[in-house]
């Protein structure tokens, strides 16, 4: 069992390898420091990933200096400086495709249209009998300046029409459907079917790395990452050499049959679509994957990365997944469920694609880009759940997304958080999580997988069922059946891999087993209706004759599998697992207990077997399992690296065992004949002592972020947020005192005469940055006869105002709001409607590449109306009470139409991440109040702010404050603490620390917009005594860091063990007992074996708790990004949906249990 020592301390190659997000300005010393931090925490490599917000010039000298610094430091520290082959993503451009940002445009695309992606765009129209076909065709062709590649006449039934290719100059007298195919160029995307294009990309990137660092390839630089590529052309992918390649590979021309790519149900039409998508897949494979894969192989680089995993889109966008990914040494996948799902989950098909390719081709590792976009509030326990699921599916290389070089600026803050890196309070303890992932990666790489079920990868069926670039209903049926089959198996702990036709044809069939690479299948599952690779039917018959089993999941389609090929009749995809259980194939079975989100796999080596059990759930599981195999049984714990005995009993050709899994726990059951049976130690609780009352509590600064100690001196704290109001707007609102660390605060960031907000439409995570038209309306009631009305309005970029259905005027621009008289108002109900037009919308919804947003590109509305009646002045401001639609609807500006009753408010936890304009009415989204960036403050009815202005800052001083330093202000101030007046001479204010938050109110007269509170309020903190509670009760809702808790208890020590249970921890705890570190706990169960640390008499317990970075990040969004829906989602909405993860502290109850040893009880199966 030599592997056991390496399991405890795995080789560095099994470390998690994060995407290291290089953004901002790269400084070599800071990069070296970050490498040192990673190595200290058990991360021994990272992909140097140029992100969109990179300011250092990409592929220029400063870039190479940064890379060199990392290579040198990596060589010194045993750290792998992995290459990421692009700026931002997708790979292939060698530069930027963003309209804004700091990088040069794509070097590849700059060399011409030949390198740009293409697609076939199709226009069709009908020519009825009696029309002159030539005249109609010419009229249609004149509408497009491009010359069509081909024009066709279709006659007959729609799905089986006769195709006649036409010469546009010689049109016959006929009628039917005309179909014209145009070549469309995508200037921001690369032609991934063009070998020369990819070769050019490699010259700019891979070969430039080789010139400078080639001698480090395969050592300090272990490999390279290809990211997110796909064929962009739609509805049909195209490249200029496709016609010649098609003829050379298929033996006939494609020109006579192009309409079949759009529709056609005949066998000939389906065959053509199979041929077409087979050729595009081959070109895609050869240009990118084979070319880069061969280059890396020759130079000793590990080639990895991922593309797309949406099965039904493979023919058009990805080609044949097995054929492409086989060229990677570590095939990879992306994990979208933590990004787009809520509650978060791992979509099993995604890692399974990469794992299946790796196993089919005998590759050692399968990579997963792991859990990017989970958000700042995702806890380490939730990330651990994700690792468990991916490990259960066979993943053995984890690429965490990501480690941020910095995230303090607009571009970085918009970039798919979270950061697992030093920005998080748990970073001090990250080695525990690193070791956990390394042990899983190591043991998931040993030996060979035991997977007995293969699911056929139905690329042929999907290709023939792809019409107009989309999957038909039959194709969707195959797609759905495939995934339901896979999920049904995995949910019942039946591991399964995918397998393609080419590998099945190569398989060795015998003894009821199909042997392919590392895979040995006893069961193969196919779609009931679906095209098979030529020759595969006979191969499957051979498999069945040798004793294998072929099953089919129900779906719709054209060609049905022969019934005599199937071991059992086809059944619903969700029920396939029942058939496999009846066949007795699985090597592990849950006889009793909660199987929800339990993922398993099995590996074997040298006669030993280990069964991985991974819980993706946040609940305990008590399971009774049967596993195939014999020998002594042990439990392998990836968290501690320990091996402990497990009690089990023989049952048939396996063993029965009971397993208790804590929330998000994972481990292996090892069956080995190299060890003796050994009874486990069992302990039972017999006494409990609660450690309650008031705990000494001390809020800490960053001193203990790097130091291991249970002692802390009084420390300083900066309070970055407060409530702000002014004589212009007496309603308090929460502000961040300084926009960025190091920038002075000033009141001009928060002052305006405007009461309303800039508003727009936001139906998704992002606002509609590419919307060209928005239609706003707001009903209001005037109780008295109006005398006159006026409105001050600004828009990006043009707006027409309607009052009760009648146009009141048009305004243009945002820089100088315009005043319009409101006519047509009446007593009673009124409608104000505004049509906003943006003539130059922006296509980039996230703006990750720049600090500043362009003020003239984001469709928005700002208005304030004043209506004088007989009794009062009625005011109406743009805010979230307006409703808005992205399309013109009938009567949208008419008061008699009721769209208000159907308007909906968006629930962000269930909102779609992406999408275009939507016809539904929604309530307007407030970008923010003036002086919101990028527009700043604007005059209202021609008036600007007149100083002086009275300012009020209300600052919550946390519990434990013992000294308040003199506020740093521009301008004189008066203040009070809990109502008691203070003068400037009273500072610093010293006081006894209390267990409650206090209120400091600061008032001043601002003579200009530069006056006000210039910096966060500095305070000194001391210990205080308080009952256990959430930190928000102490005035720390904005705080991410550490709090120290101390208490004492008396113990009359007895023989046995002492188990300390901390109760609820949010979220990470150092546990010190009598001055010694007893444990660090990052997730449930928060339990510590205290036996070695307690003694008779009085004992001291110290618990240092750290919380989530989300509590602080919620208040760190900079002014430059506040107006952007995408930023607000990641820094506000995404955080707010995880309310339970914003709890902080030791919440308890804390209890100490005495335990005595018990005898092993007889095993009585619960399932009996």
Exposure on the CB side of residue 512, measured as CA atoms within 13 A = 10
Handedness of CA 1143, 1144, 1148, 1152 (dihedral sign): positive
Span between the terminal Cα atoms of the chain, in Å: 35
The full 3-state SS of 637-660, as one line of letters, equals: CCCCCCEEECCEEEECCEEEEEEE
Where helices occur in 229-304 by DSSP H, the ranges are: 242-250, 267-284, 291-298
Which 3 state secondary structure label does DSSP give 499? strand
pLDDT tens digit string along 583-620? 999 999 999 999 999 999 999 999 999 999 999 999 99
Residue 1020 φ/ψ, nearest 5 degrees: -105, 140
Q: What are the backbone angles phi and psi of residue 1042, rounded to the nearest 5°?
A: -130, 145
- Cα distance between residue 1051 and residue 1058, in whole Å: 10
pLDDT of residue 700: 97
User: Which regions of the chain are under pLDDT 70?
Assistant: 1, 127-134, 174, 908-910, 915-919, 1160-1168
**397 burial type by CB count under 10 A (0-12 exposed, 13-18 middle, 19+ buried):** buried
Residue-level pLDDT at 916 = 52
**Whats the size of the chain, residue-wise?**
1168
Tell me if residue 151 falls in helix, strand or coil: strand
Q: Name the nearest CA neighbour of 510 among 500, 518, 521, 496.
A: 521
Quote the percentage of the chain above a pLDDT of 90.
88
**Token digits for 147?**
């010359």
Q: How far is CA 1065 from CA 379, 425, 1069, 1087, 1143, in A?
A: 12, 14, 7, 11, 9
Q: What is the 3-state secondary structure (H, E, C) of 1001-1027?
A: EEEEEECCCCCEECCCEEEEECCEEEC
Q: What is the pTM of this model?
A: 0.97
Distance, in Å, from the CA atom of 280 to the CA atom of 319, rounded to the nearest integer, reads: 7
Give the helix/strand (H/E) hosting 636: strand 632-636
Instruction: Tell me the CA distances in angstroms from 767 to 310, 902, 906, 914, 1132, one per residue in order.
Output: 26, 20, 12, 10, 14
3-state secondary structure 318-365: HCCHHHHHCCCCEEEEECCHHHHCCCCCCCCHHHHHHHHHHHHCCCCC
Per-residue pLDDT, 1166: 61
Q: Other C-beta atoms within 10 Å of 683: how many?
A: 15
Residue 483's φ and ψ, nearest 5 degrees, are -75, -40
Segment holding 83, helix H or strand E:
strand 80-87
Write the CA distances from 971 to 524, 977, 988, 1099, integer angstroms: 79, 19, 18, 53
Q: How many CA atoms lie within 13 A of 756 on its CB side?
A: 27
Neighbours of 736 (CB within 10 A): 21
Residue 833 buriedness (CB in 10 A; 0-12 / 13-18 / 19+) = buried
What one-character DSSP code corresponds to residue 961? Answer: E
pLDDT attached to residue 885: 95
In a 10 Å sphere around its CB, with 0-12 CB exposed, 13-18 middle and 19+ buried, how is residue 111 labelled?
Answer: middle
Closest by CA to 102, choosing from 526, 527, 411, is 411
Contact 488, 283 (CB under 8 A): no
List, in sequence order, every residue forming a beta bridge with 1081; answer none if it has no partner.
1069
User: Cis (ω within 30 of 0) for the bond into 343?
Assistant: yes
Q: 283-302, pLDDT tens digit by residue? A: 999 999 999 999 999 999 99
Is 781 in a helix, a strand, or coil?
strand
Contact 403, 82 (CB under 8 A): no
Domains of the chain in start order, with CATH, are 587-675 (2.60.40.1180), 689-711+1025-1107+1143-1155 (2.60.120.260), 718-749+945-1021 (2.60.120), 757-929 (2.60.120.260)
Tokens of 235: 């509805």
């Amino acid at each position: 069992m030599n592997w056991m020592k390496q399991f405890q301390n795995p080789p560095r190659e099994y470390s998690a390898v994060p995407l290291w997000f290089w953004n901002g300005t790269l400084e070599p010393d800071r990069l070296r420091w970050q490498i040192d931090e990673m190595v200290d925490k058990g991360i021994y490599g990272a992909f140097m990933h140029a992100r969109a917000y990179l300011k250092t010039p990409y592929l220029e000298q400063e870039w190479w200096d940064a890379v060199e610094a990392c290579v040198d430091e990596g060589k010194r520290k045993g750290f792998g400086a992995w290459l990421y082959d692009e700026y931002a993503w997708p790979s292939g451009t060698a530069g930027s495709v963003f309209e804004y940002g700091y990088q040069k445009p794509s070097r590849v695309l700059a060399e011409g249209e030949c390198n740009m992606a293409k697609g076939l765009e199709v226009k069709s129209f009908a020519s009825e009998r009696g029309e002159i076909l030539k005249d109609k065709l010419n009229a249609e062709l004149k509408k497009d300046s491009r010359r069509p590649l081909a024009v066709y006449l279709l006659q007959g039934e729609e799905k089986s029409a006769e195709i006649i290719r036409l010469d546009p100059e010689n049109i016959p007298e006929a009628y039917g459907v005309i179909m014209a195919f145009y070549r469309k160029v995508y200037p921001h995307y690369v032609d991934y079917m063009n070998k020369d294009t990819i070769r050019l990309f490699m010259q700019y990137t891979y070969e430039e790395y080789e010139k400078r660092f080639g001698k480090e390839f395969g050592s300090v630089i272990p490999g390279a990452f290809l990211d997110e590529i796909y064929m962009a052309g739609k509805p049909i992918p195209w490249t200029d050499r496709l016609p010649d390649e098609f003829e050379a590979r298929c033996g006939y021309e494609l020109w006579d049959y192009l309409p079949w790519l759009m529709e056609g149900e005949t066998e000939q039409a389906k065959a053509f679509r199979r041929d077409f998508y087979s050729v595009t897949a081959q070109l895609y494979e050869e240009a990118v994957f084979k070319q880069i894969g061969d280059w890396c192989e020759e130079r000793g680089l590990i080639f990895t990365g991922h593309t797309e995993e949406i099965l039904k889109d493979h023919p058009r966008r990805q080609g044949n997944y097995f054929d492409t990914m086989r060229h990677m040494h570590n095939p990879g996948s992306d994990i979208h469920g933590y990004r787009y799902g809520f509650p978060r989950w791992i979509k099993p098909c995604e890692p399974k694609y990469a794992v299946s390719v790796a196993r089919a081709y005998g590759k050692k590792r399968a990579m997963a880009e792991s859990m990017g976009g989970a958000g700042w509030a995702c806890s380490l326990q939730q990330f651990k759940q994700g690792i468990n699921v991916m490990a259960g599916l066979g993943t053995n290389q984890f690429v965490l997304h990501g480690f941020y070089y910095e995230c303090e600026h607009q571009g970085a803050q918009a970039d798919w958080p979270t950061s697992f890196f030093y920005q998080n309070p748990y970073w001090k303890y990250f080695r525990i999580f690193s070791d956990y992932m390394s042990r899983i990666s190591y043991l998931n790489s040993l030996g060979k997988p035991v997977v007995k079920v293969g699911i056929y990868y139905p690329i042929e069926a999907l290709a023939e069922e792809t019409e107009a670039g989309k999957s038909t209903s039959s194709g969707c049926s195959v797609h759905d059946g495939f995934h339901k089959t896979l999920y049904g198996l995995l949910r019942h702990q039946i591991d399964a891999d995918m397998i393609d036709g080419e590998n099945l044809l190569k398989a060795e069939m015998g003894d009821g087993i199909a042997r392919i690479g590392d895979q040995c299948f006893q069961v193969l599952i196919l779609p009931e209706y679906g095209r098979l690779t030529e020759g595969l039917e006979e191969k499957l018959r051979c498999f069945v004759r040798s004793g294998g089993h072929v099953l089919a999941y129900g779906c719709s389609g054209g060609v049905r599998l022969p019934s005599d090929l199937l071991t059992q009749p086809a059944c619903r995809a969700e029920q396939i697992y029942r058939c496999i259980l009846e066949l007795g194939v699985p090597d592990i079975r849950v006889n009793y207990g909660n199987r929800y989100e339990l993922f398993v796999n099995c590996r074997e080596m040298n006669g030993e077997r280990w069964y991985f059990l991974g819980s993706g759930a946040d609940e305990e599981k008590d399971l009774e399992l049967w596993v195939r195999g014999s020998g002594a049984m042990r439990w392998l714990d990836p968290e501690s690296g320990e091996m402990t005995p497990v009690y089990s009993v023989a049952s048939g050709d396996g063993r029965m065992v009971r397993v208790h899994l804590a929330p998000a726990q994972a481990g292996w059951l090892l069956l080995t004949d190299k060890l003796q049976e050994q009874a486990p130690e069992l302990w039972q609780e017999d006494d409990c002592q609660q450690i309650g009352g008031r705990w000494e509590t001390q809020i800490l600064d960053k001193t203990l972020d790097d130091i291991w100690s249970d002692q802390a001196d009084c420390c300083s704290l900066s309070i970055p947020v407060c409530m702000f109001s002014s004589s212009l707007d007496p309603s308090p609102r929460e502000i961040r005192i300084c926009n960025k660390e190091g920038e002075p605060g000033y009141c001009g960031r928060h002052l305006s005469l405007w009461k309303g907000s800039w508003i727009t439409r936001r139906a998704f995570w992002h606002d509609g940055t590419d919307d060209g038209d928005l239609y706003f309306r707001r009903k209001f009631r005037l109780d008295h006869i109006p005398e006159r009305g006026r409105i001050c309005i600004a828009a990006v970029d043009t707006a027409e105002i309607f009052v009760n259905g009648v146009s009141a005027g048009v305004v243009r621009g945002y820089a100088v709001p315009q005043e319009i008289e409101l006519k047509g108002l009446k007593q009673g109900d009124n409608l104000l409607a505004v049509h906003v037009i943006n003539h130059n919308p922006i296509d980039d919804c996230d703006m990750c590449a720049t600090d500043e947003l362009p003020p003239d590109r984001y469709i928005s509305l700002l208005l304030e109306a004043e209506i004088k009646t007989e009794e009062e002045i009625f005011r109406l401001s743009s805010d979230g009470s307006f409703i808005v639609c992205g399309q013109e609807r009938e009567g949208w500006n008419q008061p008699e139409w009721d769209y208000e009753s159907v308007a909906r408010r968006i629930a962000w936890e269930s909102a779609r991440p992406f999408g275009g304009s939507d016809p539904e009415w929604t309530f307007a989204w407030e970008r923010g109040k003036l002086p919101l960036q990028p527009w700043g403050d604007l005059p209202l009815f021609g008036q600007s702010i007149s100083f002086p202005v009275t300012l009020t800052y209300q600052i919550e001083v946390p519990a434990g404050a013992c000294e308040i330093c003199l506020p740093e202000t521009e301008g004189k101030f008066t203040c009070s603490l809990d109502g008691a007046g203070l003068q400037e001479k009273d500072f610093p204010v010293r006081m006894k620390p209390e267990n409650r938050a206090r209120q400091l109110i600061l008032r001043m007269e601002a003579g200009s917009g530069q006056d006000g509170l210039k910096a966060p309020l500095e305070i000194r903190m001391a210990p205080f005594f308080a009952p256990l509670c959430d930190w928000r009760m102490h005035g720390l809702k904005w705080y991410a860091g550490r709090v120290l808790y101390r208490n004492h208890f008396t113990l009359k020590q007895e023989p046995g063990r002492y188990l300390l249970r901390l109760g609820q921890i949010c979220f990470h705890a150092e546990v010190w007992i009598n001055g010694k570190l007893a444990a660090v706990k990052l997730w449930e169960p928060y339990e510590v074996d205290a036996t070695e640390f307690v003694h008779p008499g009085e004992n001291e317990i110290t618990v240092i708790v750290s919380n989530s970075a989300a509590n602080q990040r919620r208040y760190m969004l900079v002014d430059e990004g506040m107006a952007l829906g995408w930023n607000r989602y990641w820094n506000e909405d995404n955080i707010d949906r995880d309310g339970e993860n914003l709890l902080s502290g030791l919440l308890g109850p804390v209890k100490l249990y005495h335990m005595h040893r018990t005898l092993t009880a007889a095993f009585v199966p619960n399932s009996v």
